[in-house]
Amino acid sequence: MSAILPPSERVWWKQPLDRVELIWIVIALVWCLIMFFMMPYWHVYGKQNLANEAFRTTPAEFLKKTEAMIAQHKVREEGAQGQKVPVVAPPAGSDVYLVARLWQWYPILELESGKSYRIHLMSMDWLHGFSLQPENINIEVHPGYDHVLTVTPTHKGTYSIICNEYCGINHHTMISKLYVK
Amino acid sequence: MAINRNFRTCPSSGLVFHEPAEKLIRWNAVVAVVFLLVGGILAIGVTLTRWQAVHMLDASAFYQVLTAHGLNMLVFWIIFFEIAVLYFASSTLLRCRLATPGMAWTGFWLMILGALMNNYSVIRGDSSVMFTSYAPMGAHPTFYLGLILFAVGALIACFVFFGTLVVAKNERTYVGSVSLVTFGAITAAIIAVFTIASGAIILIPTLLWSLGLIEHIDSLMYRTIWWGFGHSSQQINVAAHVALWYAGAAIVFGAKPMSEKVSRAAFLLYILFLQLASAHHLLADPGLTSNWKIFNTSYAMYLAVLASMVHGLTVPGSIEVAQRLKGYNNGLFEWLRKAPWGNPAFAGIFLSIIIFGFLGGISGVMMGTEQLNLIIHNTIYVPGHFHATVATGTTLAFMAVTYFLIPTLFRRKIMFEPLAKYQPYLFGIGMAGVSLFMMGAGTLGVPRRHWDISFAGNVFGYEFPGAAWLMMGLTGVSALIAFAGGALYLAITVGSVFFGQKIETPGFKHVSAREGVGAVPAAAPDTPGAHAGIGAWGMVAPGTFVLALVFLASFVLYYFVNWKYLSTVWPLK
């Protein structure tokens, strides 16, 4: 009986299955398990994992920490006249704060290649998307959640941070630089 | 109580239609196609803007059109058609009357009202919040209210479907178990109830928030619950179009499932595990642990992926067996070479299976792998993935089934039949190009939902590699091919339904339910060993097995290529 008619055997669950199906189910199951174990495996042996570290906080408090960091480690300013953004060069291993807000990343970071930094990401208003190009590392940025990532830049150069979570009419203008020395 | 118990038997297919059900199926399908038309027109605006050389719309219009395109395609077109499929799989396939047609019409009108209201809010211009409408970005209250009304209507339709199953059981219109296609439709309806419940849990508070009655909606809570609605609604599609794959194989080839046990167990795995996939969207979010992410996005160890891989084998496998029994038993692929490639119902289903599996399935697993998601999240790879699953997998399967429904349900001949032969190829191949090139651009970092990747006039501008621009251009070209296929589909279906040559049913008369249903055919037991003498290597479907191994090899290769790529980006912990 075809698939649009009731099964011919009332007790259909006792129908034997063909060899082709059995072999395929075994192969597919083994492959599925390999894919499953790849994720914990990478947590142990791989180098690219997101931390479980995140804190609830308020935009005001996060901004205060950011301003304190800027006051301490600011090296220069960049950007168009009237919209200058500070560039900060925080010491290796320190806590680095990056604010996402409509429609700006604040401040610009200058990091050292081969050194690790604890980067804190948070939004002041809506959702934003941290997208580091051309590395192509992409992380969701929430308001109220301070997301901590320990990052180690591997190559010197000028990188761009673009926003890849739609955040309103000027979403496409939300872009910034990140320098690795 | 007077209940309309009129039935008609379709002379070409032998299907028994309950007239009130038939009318509902027709109208749900017609409205679905209208939303497909709207969504299709909007698609031009989206694709021709993202093709940077054309860059058609301004920013505000682009985000507005993109919002409307997503909603009309992902929600309204698909759900209306799915309701038609549910009524068909219950009332028609079980040869019974539809439970409470009045309630079904209430659901239908609620869905229409909701869809219109939601579109109205987007047209207003203050609700360009995308399909996802992530709080705390707010839309006009009618945006949420429209979706809620639509969902209530769809929920009513699901319960009419469940009620019809009870009617069929009580009135004994079939013997033994329901057909496999109905089983698949039940899977879709169960997932739909879960989906709509998640939608209610998040959209009702968001509506109250947009009215100022609730002060705060947490962005992470919103995303977590919303995806229980947003992604699960796509799982309804998967269950529904897999059911239609089986239906297509049965209608075109008279194929029977290779093993009822295997196919039904695979549907059962969908019910149990497919919903967990909603967590895919939260892999790059703070505040959720890796354990939670790994367990959920692996659908509890990829048991739902296993189910899809099983369907991917058993549907073409059942076609192969049917073809071999017809005598196309030479070599590995004679059954496939001599398949009716000029029949749009078959071509559509087959392309849907292949493109859904190779492009949609494999890319879905990549995005859903916790660490690989880092190099994919929110890039245009994501729409690349779901244009392979929803636009080709689901939409093309629905289109294919329409070619069968027009003569049986609307009793009209297909118009422009020579063109109809090419329609699935135009749409399927065009859409496969759209998916593939978007995935390519996403791999190079191009963001989704972005008006201008040239960052013109910005002091901090970034220049994407030339290959990314090329990919976006090729996406545009492919989209135009797919659009031609979609326009052809609309011309054929609308033309046939309204102006097609009528198919007269000789001796057509209304009869009462019991007589109309006729004697329930006694299930003919299978002759044991009926498959003896076909196939090779002790397998009844060796050709399909070879195809499945090709699929597996591409899957494994692409999976590890992505891990290799991930290992080159900055260390992160």
B381-401 pLDDT per residue, tens = 999 999 999 999 999 999 999
Q: Do A36 and B301 touch (CB under 8 A)?
A: yes
Contact between residue B240 and residue B85 where contact means Cβ atoms under 8 Å apart: yes
Check residue B5 and give its pLDDT.
53
Burial of A55 (0-12, 13-18, 19+ CB in 10 A): middle
Q: Do B523 and A121 touch (CB under 8 A)?
A: no
Residues from chain B that touch A8, judged by Cβ atoms under 8 A, are 256, 523-526
Q: Cα separations (Å) of B386 from B70, B235, B362, B488?
A: 11, 12, 11, 22
The set of residues, in sequence order, having a beta carbon less than 8 Å from that of B122 and lying 6+ positions away, is B64, B67, B68, B71, B128, B143
CA distance B454 to B473: 13
Nearest to B309 among A28, A121, A169 (CB): A28
Q: What are phi and psi of B258, to 5 degrees?
A: -60, -50
Tell me how crowded residue B326 is: count the other CB atoms within 10 A of its CB. 13
Half-sphere exposure of B263 (CA within 13 A, CB side): 32
CA distance B421 to B413: 14
Mutate to test the interface with B, among A48, A109, A115, A154 (most CBs of B within 10 A): A48
DSSP calls for B103-164: HHHHHHHHHHHHHHHHHHHHHHTS---TTT--TTS---HHHHHHHHHHHHHHHHHHHHHHHH
Tokens of B165: 């199953």
Check residue B505 and give its pLDDT.
67
Check residue B516 and give its pLDDT.
45
Nearest to A52 among B254, B262, B290 (CB): B290
Residues from chain A that touch B258, judged by Cβ atoms under 8 A, are 17-18, 20-21
Collapsed DSSP state (helix, strand, coil) of residue B287: coil
Check residue B529 and give its pLDDT.
47
Q: Are strands A104-106 and A137-141 parallel, antiparallel or unpaired?
A: unpaired
End-to-end CA distance of chain A: 70
Distance from CA of B414 to the nearest CA of A (A): 23
Q: Do B447 and A162 touch (CB under 8 A)?
A: yes
Nearest to B59 among A9, A172, A176 (CB): A172
Q: Cα separations (Å) of B474 from A164, B464, B469?
A: 21, 16, 9
Tell me how crowded residue A33 is: count the other CB atoms within 10 A of its CB. 14
CA distance B507 to B9: 10
> Nearest-CA neighbor of B347 among B447, B426, B294?
B426
Residues from chain B that touch A154, judged by Cβ atoms under 8 A, are 570-571
Check residue B4 and give its pLDDT.
43
Taking the whole predicted model, whether its pTM rises above 0.95 is answered as: no
Mutate to test the interface with A, among B273, B366, B378, B562 (most CBs of A within 10 A): B378
Residues from chain B that touch A37, judged by Cβ atoms under 8 A, are none
Tens of pLDDT, residues B437-488: 999 999 999 999 999 999 988 889 899 999 999 999 999 999 999 999 999 9
Tens of pLDDT, residues A68-123: 999 999 999 998 887 899 999 999 999 999 999 999 999 999 999 999 999 999 99
Contact between residue B510 and residue B434 where contact means Cβ atoms under 8 Å apart: no
Q: Are strands A108-111 and A95-101 parallel, antiparallel or unpaired?
A: unpaired
Contact between residue B80 and residue B32 where contact means Cβ atoms under 8 Å apart: yes
Q: Do A134 and B445 touch (CB under 8 A)?
A: yes
Q: Do A167 and B137 touch (CB under 8 A)?
A: yes
Tell how many helices (H) and how many strands (E) occur in chain B.
20, 2
Residue A81: closest CA among chain B residues belongs to which residue? B459
Give the residue carrying structure tokens 């799915």: B82
Contact between residue B7 and residue B19 where contact means Cβ atoms under 8 Å apart: yes
Give the residue carrying structure tokens 């205060």: A64
CA distance B77 to B542: 37
Check residue B139 and give its pLDDT.
94
Contact between residue B140 and residue B121 where contact means Cβ atoms under 8 Å apart: yes
Q: Do B448 and A138 touch (CB under 8 A)?
A: no
Q: Do B460 and A177 touch (CB under 8 A)?
A: yes
Mutate to test the interface with B, among A166, A167, A173 (most CBs of B within 10 A): A166
Check residue B228 and give its pLDDT.
92
Contact between residue B87 and residue B76 where contact means Cβ atoms under 8 Å apart: no
CA distance A40 to B416: 55
The set of residues, in sequence order, having a beta carbon less than 8 Å from that of A26 and lying 6+ positions away, is none
Tokens of A53: 């570290």
Q: Quick one: DSSP state of residue A168?
A: S
Residues from chain A that touch B319, judged by Cβ atoms under 8 A, are none
Tens of pLDDT, residues B250-266: 999 989 899 999 999 99
Residue B257: closest CA among chain A residues belongs to which residue? A3
The set of residues, in sequence order, having a beta carbon less than 8 Å from that of B196 and lying 6+ positions away, is B151, B152, B154, B155, B158, B229
Nearest to A3 among B255, B301, B563 (CB): B255
Check residue B511 and give its pLDDT.
53
Distance from CA of A28 to the nearest CA of B (A): 6
Residues from chain A that touch B220, judged by Cβ atoms under 8 A, are 142, 144-145
CA distance A87 to B451: 27
Low-confidence stretches of chain B (pLDDT beneath 50): 1-4, 513-519, 521-525, 527-529
Collapsed DSSP state (helix, strand, coil) of residue B308: helix
In residues, how long is chain B? 573
Residue A44: closest CA among chain B residues belongs to which residue? B573
Which amino acid makes up residue B505? T
Tokens of B341: 């490639």
> Nearest-CA neighbor of B219 among A124, A39, A76, A103?
A124
Q: What are phi and psi of A129, to 5 degrees?
A: -120, 120
CA distance A141 to B286: 8
Q: Quick one: DSSP state of residue A5?
A: S
- Average per-residue pLDDT for chain A: 93
Collapsed DSSP state (helix, strand, coil) of residue B52: coil
Residue A165: closest CA among chain B residues belongs to which residue? B378
CA distance A156 to B212: 49
Check residue B310 and give its pLDDT.
95
Q: Cα separations (Å) of B20 from B9, B297, B503, B513, B573?
A: 14, 42, 20, 12, 60
Tokens of B137: 């970005």
Burial of B553 (0-12, 13-18, 19+ CB in 10 A): exposed
Residues from chain B that touch A152, judged by Cβ atoms under 8 A, are 570-572
CA distance A8 to A15: 10
Q: Do A151 and B251 touch (CB under 8 A)?
A: no
Contact between residue B214 and residue B205 where contact means Cβ atoms under 8 Å apart: yes
Q: Do A36 and B93 touch (CB under 8 A)?
A: no
Residue A145: closest CA among chain B residues belongs to which residue? B286
- Name residue A133's beta-bridge partners: A160
Helices (H), chain A: 19-45, 59-73
Distance from CA of B240 to the nearest CA of A (A): 14
Half-sphere exposure of B456 (CA within 13 A, CB side): 7
Q: Cα separations (Å) of B349 from A177, B97, B345, B380, B550?
A: 48, 29, 6, 26, 19
> Nearest-CA neighbor of B394 among B80, B34, B26?
B80
DSSP calls for B206-264: HHHHHTTSS----HHHHHHHHHHHHHHHHHHHHHHHHHHHHHHHHHHH-PPPS-HHHHH
In residues, how long is chain A? 181
Half-sphere exposure of B231 (CA within 13 A, CB side): 23
